[in-house]
Amino acid sequence: MTGSHLMSGPRELVRPGHIGTVTAGFSGPAATELARPMQLFPPVPWMVDRHDELEQLLHWRAQPELARIEISGPEGIGKTALAATFLRRARFTDGVLRLDLDATGHSGPLDSAAELACLLGALGVDERRIPGRAQHIRNLWAEVTGPLSLCLVIRVHGKTTDAAECISELLPSSTSGAILVLSRTYTQALRRYGFVSLRLPALPREEAAALLHRAAGEPPQLSLNECGQMARALACHPLSLVIAGSVLSRARTPEAIATLLPLSRKTAKDVMTATITRAINELTDDGLTVLKAGAFQVGRTFQIPVLCALTGLPVERVTQAVLEIGDAHMLSEHGDDAASPHDESWFVRDDASGCLRVITSPAECDAITEASVQHYLHMFCAAGATLIPHRWTVGKLTQRLRALPPQAPAFCRCLPPGAHAKDCVRKPAARHWFESHLDVLFTTFYWLLEQQRSDEAWQLIEGASACFIRAPRTLTRKWIDLLEAAIVAAEKLDAPLPAWRMRTQLVTALQRAGEHLRAMRLARENHHHAEDMPDVQALLVSLGHMAKCLLTLGHREEAYQYSARKVSCSRQAYSTDSELRRDLRLALRRHARICVLTGRIQEAEQALAEALTLCKDADPDDVAELHRGRSVLLRRIGVPAGALRAAQAAEAISEATGGYPDHLGNAQIQAGLSYIALALASITDPDSPQARLCRAVAGLEARLREQEPAA
């Protein structure tokens, strides 16, 4: 299925249904099979009178070079409709990619490297092949797109001046294909990069009247002359005409149609609003039909208070109708084939939850599910606080937050851990993701509380906490505000357990904000309550917070006491519940750090050794880090042989999992080899096998440095 909307990176990127593969060469030893995407816009049946513009686009496409075209015009003028028709008339043998530079509405600068990483992923390039530095990503994009005949379609709704430089860095390096920019305002800066511009005007009056008549269902009681009068009042704006026609199609009598015609010439927006409002008031006999009126097709946002005021229907009926429309719209959004999305064999409804379930291949099921989630999330950001979250989306949003989506955390390969390169694209991608979804959390949380669905509200906040622990500090204050509101709401609802959970998350947020004394006071209060709670996890969390707060304030011995108690409680809990293996491993690792700070080196080594026995199903990088830490501690307590074995184990894991881009994989291997060299340095015999191995390791490190790409 084509046209699925997915998030990949900081902004919206449309992932494809693939029509085949294309082979592209890399700098590596073997060629790579790339996906051939076909991310076409759905066909727009009501596009009229754009024949001259279409011929002009086809003429530019026929030139023996990369076509660089900007289509500009106000919202609803027909840019997408023209692009959809052009993409079906022109031929791009290696596919079509679509990118929306403003999909998440963030205010930060545009990052071309992040966009290129998304596009390479859409082409099927393995994420491990995509480097972390911006210039290396650009080089890879040029290398991949050189032999391709590809069309890249970019939406730019605002900030067109800032977008010009970013767009120039997204140009494919091929001499065929096209790059198509859809913007609301003409971008003068794009001319510097060889772009030609096509400005779409309003429709001629005759064509506008015909469009309105067709959108209204061609009723015999509505003459073309009357359609022409209304089209003139609507400034011959295509989208306004389609919306007005959708409303007119529900008026079955000449009298009803007459009430919809404007009495005076106004702006297109005012006339459209007045026309639709009057139509809704006339058609209150059928609530569902009213709610499907064209007024709410724009942006596909459903605002419950507005609908209730216009229709006079109760909130319950409006809410149910909106949910039904949301489900129906979710079905109709996918694919160009009109039969497939509506075929009942593709979708079933779960009677228990009321949610839609896809019964098709797992790959297409995941694509449709992700597309639907992203559609509603984008709708949340655009609509503001009056938008009702779909009940299916709330569950999916919580699930996504708990799963920690791949674009959210700063998962980069920069070494040492936590030290980001200046042009690392993954760290700003995480910041943009958090900024774009913060309003979604506020809107959804407060609406759930208003609907007395408090359990779902707490689940949403808890799911988001895993993400915001890793959020940039600039967002921490907003996160604190949301948590404080959640605590007040929980206390009003007499929900002690959710309130306690919100306070524990607030402790972490306060620590990130630098308010350590306040965090310490809140942690003590939480620990006092946790002592009396039946859930052992509550006690473990409170002990960990106490240890961290005390350590931050310099009370190391007291922090050690709390950490040791947490390890003891974790061991006891693990003895009865094997699912707590990860919790015990993390507790031991953190306890080892506190032991080192308090001078208990041998106890720290024993803690890491115990943690290594709990590494079943653990991340290989975490296991390697435990081995490296234990190697350092063994050297400090005078056990060089054990330090060598631990360092070799860490290096073996790095070798086995070092399938990253060359310079990053080499850096991990170098780190492991360096630990081996440090362990061998304590051996005094220069002719021993260990010493010779040390010299060989040093030579290998030098060769690895030579293979690194230049900065």
What was the pLDDT predicted at 368? 38
Does residue 395 sit in helix, strand or coil?
helix
Instruction: Assess whether 166 and 249 both reside in one domain.
Output: no
Q: What is the pLDDT of residues 30-68, one digit of tens each?
A: 334 565 565 666 555 556 668 888 889 998 988 888 889
Instruction: Assess whether 46 and 93 both reside in one domain.
Output: yes
Last residue of one domain, picked from the residues 245, 267, 298:
298
Helices and strands: H and E segment counts in the chain = 28, 11
Split at pLDDT 50, 70, 90, the class of 560 is: very high
What was the pLDDT predicted at 111? 73
Instruction: Assess whether 661 and 700 both reside in one domain.
Output: yes
Does residue 13 sit in helix, strand or coil?
strand
What was the pLDDT predicted at 686? 55
Residue 230 falls inside a structural domain: yes
Q: What is the pLDDT of residues 112-171, one digit of tens each?
A: 777 788 788 777 777 777 787 788 888 888 888 888 888 888 888 655 556 787 888 888
Where residue 22 sits, what CATH number does that domain have?
3.40.50.300
Split at pLDDT 50, 70, 90, the class of 655 is: low
Query: What's the CA gap between 426 and 414, in Å, rounded?
Result: 10
Residue 175: DSSP 8-state = S
Instruction: Quote the distance between the C-alpha of residue 499 and its chain's center.
Output: 29
Instruction: Assess whether 278 and 181 both reside in one domain.
Output: no
**Residue 309 vs residues 303, 357, 385, 389: alpha-carbon distances, Å:** 10, 33, 17, 19
Last residue of one domain, picked from the residues 298, 317, 338:
298
Instruction: Assess whether 127 and 207 both reside in one domain.
Output: no
Residue 108 falls inside a structural domain: yes
Pairing of strands 151-156, 18-24: unpaired
Instruction: Assess whether 119 and 12 both reside in one domain.
Output: yes
Instruction: Assess whether 168 and 288 both reside in one domain.
Output: no
DSSP string, 363-374: HHHHHHHHHHHH
Q: What is the pLDDT of residues 93-105, one digit of tens each?
A: 777 887 777 644 4
Does residue 196 sit in helix, strand or coil?
strand
Instruction: Assess whether 193 and 287 both reside in one domain.
Output: no
The more confidently predicted of residues 428 and 595 is 595
Amino acid at 472: P
Residue 653 falls inside a structural domain: yes
The more confidently predicted of residues 562 and 706 is 562
The angle formed by the CA atoms of residues 69, 74 and 75, to the nearest 5 degrees, is 105
Last residue of one domain, picked from the residues 199, 229, 246:
199
Split at pLDDT 50, 70, 90, the class of 268 is: very low
Instruction: Assess whether 195 and 218 both reside in one domain.
Output: no
Instruction: Assess whether 172 and 207 both reside in one domain.
Output: no
Instruction: Assess whether 191 and 245 both reside in one domain.
Output: no
Residues 584 and 570 sit within 8 Å (Cβ to Cβ): yes
- Domain span holding position 77: 4-199
Split at pLDDT 50, 70, 90, the class of 294 is: very low
Residue 96 falls inside a structural domain: yes
Residue 276 falls inside a structural domain: yes
The two most distant CA atoms of the chain are separated, in Å, by 105
Span of 237-251, 268-282, 312-326 with lowest mean pLDDT? 268-282
Residue 128 falls inside a structural domain: yes
Residue 386 falls inside a structural domain: no
What was the pLDDT predicted at 279? 44
Residue 689 falls inside a structural domain: yes
Q: What is the pLDDT of residues 429-444, one digit of tens each?
A: 444 555 555 655 666 6
Instruction: Assess whether 160 and 76 both reside in one domain.
Output: yes
Query: What's the CA gap between 301 and 165, in Å, rounded?
Result: 32
Q: Over 60: is that where the pLDDT of 445 sits?
A: yes
What was the pLDDT predicted at 97? 81
Instruction: Tell whether the torsion through CA atoms of 260, 261, 263 and 267 is positive or negative.
Output: positive
Q: How many domains does the chain have?
A: 3
Closest C-alpha to 188, from 207, 206, 162, 220: 162
Mean pLDDT, rounded, of the chain: 65
Judge if pTM exceeds 0.85: no
Q: What is the pLDDT of residues 566-598, one digit of tens each?
A: 998 888 887 766 667 778 888 898 899 999 888
Closest C-alpha to 197, from 70, 367, 347: 70
Query: What's the CA gap between 504 and 538, in Å, rounded?
Result: 9
